[in-house]
Amino acid sequence: MPFLSIRQLVQRKLLNSVERCVDEALEGIVSSNGGLMLLRGQRVALRSDLHNLKGKVALISGGGSGHEPAHAGYIGRGMLSAAVAGAVFSSPPPGSILAAIMTLWQSGTSGVLLLVKNYTGDRLNFGLAVEKARALGVPVDMVVVADDCAFTTQLSKAGRRGLCGTVFIHKLAGALAEEGYPLDVIVAKVSKAVKNIGTLGVSLSACSVPGCLPTFQLLPGEMELGLGIHGEPGIKRSKMASADEVVKTMIDHMTDPSSQSHLPLKSGDRVILCVNNLGGLSCLEMAVVTRAAINYLMGQGVQVARVMSGTFMTSLEMAGMSLSLMRVDEEILRLFDSKTSAYAWPNHSSESLSGRNLYVEPTARPASAETKPEQGPFSSVARLALESICKALLQQKEELNALDRAAGDGDCGTTHALAATAIEEWMQTTTIPGRPSLLLTALAALVEEKMGGSSGALYSLFLTAAALNLREGCDGKHWAKAIQAGTEAMKRYGGAEPGDRTMLDALCPAVDELMKLSTASPGDHIAVLQAAVEKAELGAQSTCDLTAKAGRASYIASKRLTQPDPGAVAVAAILRAVFDTLKGTDHIKMEFACSHVVCNWRPESLAEGLFTTLPCGLSRKESEHPYDNRIAVIPRPIPPSTPPPVPPRRSTQKQTRPISMPPPIPPRGLEGKGQASIKANVNVVLLKVGSLVDINKASSIQSIQKPVHCGKCRAVMSSVSNSQTSTNTSTWSCEFCGNQNVLSQNELKMGRSPLWTPPGRDVLYVDEEIDTDYVNLEDMLVVFCVDISGSMSVTSEVSPGNSMRSPTYISRLQGVQEALQLALSSLLKSSPHRRVALVTFNDEVTVYGDGTGVPLSLRDWALVDYDHVREQGEKYTTPHCIAETFQCLTQRVKELREHGATALGPAALISVAMASQFAGSKVIICTDGQANIGLGQLEQESAASVYFYNQLASHAAEKGVIVSVMTFEGEDCSLADVGKLADHTGGRINRVNICTVGSEIQTALADNILATNVVATLLAPNGVYYPFEEDNHRLVREIGNVTNGMEITFQFAVKPDRAESFQRRDRVPFQLQLSFKTRDLKKVTRVITQQKRVTTSSWVWAGSLNMAVLGVHCAQLCARLTMEGRVQEAQHQLKAQQHLLKDISEQKPSPKEESIYGNWISTMSMICEDLNPDTKGNTGSTTVCEGRTLSTGLSDEAAKVVFQMKRVTSVGQREEKAALLES
């Protein structure tokens, strides 16, 4: 906290002067209450009707100020006669107390009783005044109230403190005095009552005496139990808890028989409850606490006779409260209920609270005029849209609250989140109505009840009015009328108009656009909605410059309103969510590089010396198709022929047009003019598999039925499938292979057909069987596989400012040790249940495991026995969690010493075998040299070593293990081969030094598997093939492990002999079948079916190209070809892509994309040139090993870049750009 001067501290309280604040406060109390007056020259407040005290006992209380309304607030008939105030939190001087006694005695009272809280200063000063008064012949006595229940033992002679229970004594003594009881009787009765009172407080913040710093400090999220009213320390501090939990803790502590200060309380006892605000608690919180206290006491069998809830004895501005309980009988209740004129005493009911019925049943709502809701085709679309809306509102909760704090009460986001949560819960238990009018009516009632506030009322008005216009139909015309009616209802009852800085500033422009639905064709509805969303977003942004004329914001100075109106922002977000759902961007992750399938491929002989574009396994054989992927580029014709407009390129959004709104196809016959061929294939599709495998975000599309497969190509029947139904059977002609599938009606009724879904949507099929028991992510294993060979002793200079320890020169192993210590500490803090094991390798492989047992060593013959090494890893004892093994592991890491050779292969094998016990486990390998001993040794070229790393990588991927590989810069570690362990499993591949190894390990620890055993099957109609992969219309690609953000691409082409038949088709279907296992080992298949238009016109595809998809595909494909040793083919693709990028950029420049993707092309081109400087010579330096190609000329630095290029994404990750720019 920044330093504040005394003056600044004073200014934080609304006072005139620190010195006079007590006197001015007393004057304020007395001047506002006609029954009070001040004793001149003293800080003493008195009853103004002293003549009514003749013959009765007068009552005096008091103490330090800062506890208001105590004690001046309790002066009046039936309570105190006078109150003496000291300075803030200081006892009043004896002279003032004596002056009060003498003033009351001289008024004709029969005696004076002092009621004092048990604090040392109060006892001393009030006691001294009593003795002086007695010496003057005044009949006076004193009762000390000690009701604190905080301390379980008697810590000092001071005894229990006097707290809010003192107010009970004020009332009882005042009632007795008013009835005329003598002094000794009153003393006896209230002394007995004091023993039946207990109080305990809890604080959420400190208080500060005017002109002073806070009396103590509480950390955020902490509370203190049992503190005194002056901020004295309590008995313990703990984390914040709920009101119910705090109240339970307090009452249990107050009544604990083992505590010397407890209040004896048993079932059946009657009590008066006082819930006292210590000064800074809101009335809302006080009401919640009061409810909790009443419920808990009644739950313990205690009868709550009366309740006081409010501000009775404070500690300045302290946020907190105290609970006071007083056991009572009928006599005490009678005195408690007696009348008083004290202004601070509550006017409570005299009825007992126990056993009361709190609720009255509401009258039944009138039945709806419409029929019972039933599910229909509209239901699935509505569910998707509602889920998208709820997701958007929950994500923007804090943003909307922040915007609302400047203009309102800061709860706009919370209010919308309440509505979103209510809708989500409603959808889980309710059938979504198949009629829009029923759905809007149901939503209107829901937001009215759950959302509340003015926003709830406005949304309910809109939905109710809109529903009325959808009863007769739900086409575009009816939707337009409904939306307009809803908006008019909001304006009529809300009193706002566009321009008043409200949600209407976003809604009204959108409604004006949506009115076009009444005349637009169904194919144009998405375009109308898109335009409406854009108008809404512009309208929301325009509220920054508007003056509020309605709502809470209208009471705020306009110069303070510089951000958009939160209601308008929320409306724009809702419309955007609906648009994204209907357009399909939220669920369809098949992103095509072109809006159409380009099918005019020209047969042409292959360039001399180049391989065919067939799968790797077939590329050495003669192809039946003497063509490559060439397309026709047709220049724009010269006027008067006017071509259709090319869709504008928008760098901030996806460049493909909506499926339902393809660019117009030009007249046939123009394609033959001015043809020029290039080799870049624009038929590319990108899959965001990192999103597709996250089934938590796709629960709405899960089908409870099973998929129906084509008997020939295994396509799944979907919404684009056509079937003919007879009496007993249904015949489905597969849209991909043409096979006639005959299905019985019984099969369809048994739930073997998918639910109806709109074209282009996807369906999630979850197998009910699970392989093994669920394994929590926290239980997975992390294996650090560390090189401790002799080369790890090489030292490097560390700059003086580096965080690592001295000396200035440290070895690679020291850098790794430092990095491992940090990683272990981080895991202990963030994931204490995570299991961690250590494996090291040099001449031998040593398995330390979790560091608690005897290490296992493998050496000599064991290093070349694959089965033996794997068995040792699989049966190794499962490590304990890091919380239990941290000390042992850190000690093992400190003891590591470098020497010997590099048995990397066996170490990697045993590490993977250990990690394979838990799906999602990780192996992090850190090495600085080539494997030169045991399995997988790489110093000499060997087909067996290549096979070893490929086999190990496949095994790790199958078991769901992520392997990350990091090698030290300046050394040749054959990363092109070892890196396959990470490449196949989704792990990280990088080159490090002693300064960066720590951050690289931390990054590797943060990558978690989303799914394992991922297999992607892509189907297209007969006549399509997949260059470089499959000469068939069905492609199956094994992906393995998938981590967050992962993207893959496919390219396809139309065979020349089928091009003419494709051109006669308006649309062709594509289907993705993504099979995988989730983290909880569920077997899942996600099926996405989508249709694409067909074209032969370069006007169409050139105007809709998505360079992001093409750039990612080019990088991934060329990197894959390079790693397979097919360098010339990679170069051919790079040149074709470079020409395409140049041609497109001339027509529609996009500097950002050109820079990123052009950089990727340049990077890969340089690597390929280094590998194959003579592009016209032989096929490069390659070694063929059992159908696989080993690149022998790829340096570790180049291999790192190539591996990273295989994983580039359209997102443009920062580290990818940095690495590629550096290379």
Q: CA-to-CA distance for 551 and 496, rounded, in angstroms?
A: 8
Q: Give pLDDT, residue 771.
A: 54
Is the pTM higher than 0.95? The answer reads: no
Q: Which residues of 689-701 are buried (b: 16+ CB within 10 A; e: fewer)?
A: bbbbbebeebebb
List the chain residues with pLDDT less than 50. Answer: 1-6, 9-10, 369-371, 548-561, 585-587, 601-678, 750-760, 773-777, 802-804, 1175-1192, 1212-1223
Q: CA-to-CA distance for 872 and 8, rounded, in angstroms?
A: 70
User: Which residues are known binding-site members?
Assistant: 64-67, 117, 122
Q: CA-to-CA distance for 857 and 840, rounded, in angstroms?
A: 10
Local structure of residue 1169 (DSSP, 8 states): H
The count of other CB atoms within 10 Å of the CB of residue 31 is 11
Contacts of 1203 by beta carbon, 8 Å cutoff, 6+ apart: 975, 979, 982, 983, 989, 1119, 1123
| Cα 890 to Cα 818, 838, 850, distances in angstroms | 10, 10, 10
Contact 857, 846 (CB under 8 A): yes
Q: CA-to-CA distance for 180 and 80, rounded, in angstroms?
A: 14
| Collapsed DSSP state (helix, strand, coil) of residue 177 | helix
Say whether 230 is catalytic. yes
Contact 663, 1100 (CB under 8 A): yes
Contact 103, 43 (CB under 8 A): no
Structure tokens belonging to residue 584: 């399909």
Structure tokens belonging to residue 175: 């009632």
DSSP string, 5-17: -HHHHHHTSS-S-
User: Which residues are known binding-site members for substrate?
Assistant: 64-67, 117, 122
Structure tokens belonging to residue 956: 């790790």
Amino acid at 281: L
Q: CA-to-CA distance for 1022 and 735, rounded, in angstroms?
A: 9
Contact 1085, 1075 (CB under 8 A): yes
Q: CA-to-CA distance for 25 and 47, rounded, in angstroms?
A: 17
Among 51, 71, 170, 230, the active-site one is 230
- Bridge partner list, 82: 46, 60
Q: Give pLDDT, residue 443.
A: 92
Q: CA-to-CA distance for 511 and 535, rounded, in angstroms?
A: 9
Local structure of residue 709 (DSSP, 8 states): B
Radius of gyration, CA atoms only, the chain: 40
Q: Can you point out the beta strands (E) in 288-400? A: 303-310, 320-327
| Collapsed DSSP state (helix, strand, coil) of residue 659 | coil
| Cα 437 to Cα 490, 492, 514, 520, 660, distances in angstroms | 18, 21, 18, 21, 26
* DSSP strand pairing (1067-1078 vs 1082-1095): antiparallel
Residue with the two structure tokens 């406060």: 25
Q: Give pLDDT, residue 986.
A: 87
Q: Can you point out the beta strands (E) in 762-900? A: 762-770, 781-787, 795-797, 809-811, 835-841, 845-849, 856-858
The burial of 332, by beta-carbon neighbours within 10 Å (0-12 exposed, 13-18 middle, 19 or more buried), is given as buried
Structure tokens belonging to residue 488: 């008019």
Amino acid at 393: L
Local structure of residue 138 (DSSP, 8 states): -
Find, among 594, 597, 577, 595, the residue nearest to 586 by Cα: 577
Q: CA-to-CA distance for 632 and 619, rounded, in angstroms?
A: 25
Structure tokens belonging to residue 462: 């809109």
Contact 1058, 1023 (CB under 8 A): yes
Where helices occur in 584-731 by DSSP H, the ranges are: 689-692
Q: CA-to-CA distance for 1151 and 1132, rounded, in angstroms?
A: 24
| Collapsed DSSP state (helix, strand, coil) of residue 86 | strand
* DSSP strand pairing (36-38 vs 702-703): unpaired
| Collapsed DSSP state (helix, strand, coil) of residue 223 | strand
Contact 195, 146 (CB under 8 A): no
Q: Give pLDDT, residue 640.
A: 38
Q: CA-to-CA distance for 1017 and 1088, rounded, in angstroms?
A: 11
Q: CA-to-CA distance for 1079 and 587, rounded, in angstroms?
A: 21
| Cα 225 to Cα 237, 294, 602, 947, distances in angstroms | 6, 20, 83, 67
For the chain, the distance separating the N- and C-terminal CA atoms, rounded to the nearest angstrom, is: 47
Contact 876, 914 (CB under 8 A): yes
Per the document, the length of the chain is: 1223
Local structure of residue 1030 (DSSP, 8 states): B
* DSSP strand pairing (1009-1019 vs 1067-1078): antiparallel
| Cα 356 to Cα 301, 352, 784, distances in angstroms | 14, 8, 65
Q: CA-to-CA distance for 93 and 1009, rounded, in angstroms?
A: 73
Find, among 587, 654, 689, the residue nearest to 1106 by Cα: 654
Q: Which residues of 713-741 are buried (b: 16+ CB within 10 A; e: fewer)?
A: bbbbbbbbbebeeeeeebebebbbbeeeb
Per residue in 103-129, pLDDT (tens digit) is 999 999 999 999 999 998 899 999 999
Q: CA-to-CA distance for 117 and 124, rounded, in angstroms?
A: 11
Helix/strand/coil (H, E, C) string of 722-779?
CEEECCCEEEEECCCCCCEEEEEHHHHHHHHCCCCCCCCCEEEEEEEEECCCCCCHHH
Task: Compute, in degrees rounded to 10, the torsion defined by CA atoms 664, 667, 672, 678.
Answer: 0
Contacts of 617 by beta carbon, 8 Å cutoff, 6+ apart: 1187
Amino acid at 579: F
